[in-house]
Amino acid sequence: MTRMMWMLMTLRKRKKLHNFFQALVQPFRHTRVPILWGAIQFTVVFLALNGPLAQGSFAQRKPSPNDCLLYATVFTPEGRAFYGAEARIHPVGKNKPAWEPTSNHQGEIAVRVPTVGDYEIEVKAKGYVTQTKKVTPIAGDRVDLVFNMVPQTKKKP
């Protein structure tokens, strides 16, 4: 493909995208204030791009009084808070994680789960041994867990 063909192709794509957004904001085109017109265009483009994400898989269900709060604290071998440890929380018997939180600067992980059955919490970090614990949630209560990370030993060849 020559450079000229590539430029024409990208020009066509940009023109199609421009026409699409112009069709979205066409009813507002005859406003008298140009700043308002720019704000309307920006708002329409922003909502068009972020609307599906806000209502998709990232949206959580509303908390119920019967839910349980799983609260875990992750520590380094020296006893300090472990920032950035990745957790995977899934019902026992299933491998696909329902939640994948990461520990904050205080080494804390908190997830509200329904009290449907038992859960497994797997905490892992690079250079440390993966730890797994089973939890039975109690309706309307909080379950506290502590993970003390252990460094992996290097295998000798």
Round to whole Å and give the CA distance between 86 and 109: 9
Q: Judge contact between 123 and 135, C-beta under 8 A.
A: no
Round to whole Å and give the CA distance between 18 and 10: 12
Decide if pLDDT at 118 tops 80.
Answer: yes
Per-residue DSSP letters for 2-32?
Answer: -HHHHHHHHHHHHHHHHHHHHHHHGGGTT-S
The b-or-e profile of 86-95 (16+ CB within 10 A means b, else e) is bbbbbbeeee
Decide if pLDDT at 153 tops 70.
Answer: yes
SS3 42: helix
- 56 pLDDT band, cuts 50/70/90, is very low
Residue tagged 């085109």 (tokens):
29
In the chain, what are the domain boundaries? 14-50, 68-148
User: Residue 45 carries which DSSP code?
Assistant: H
> Which pLDDT score, from 0 to 100, does residue 123 have?
96
CATH 3.10.310.30 correct for 68-148 = no
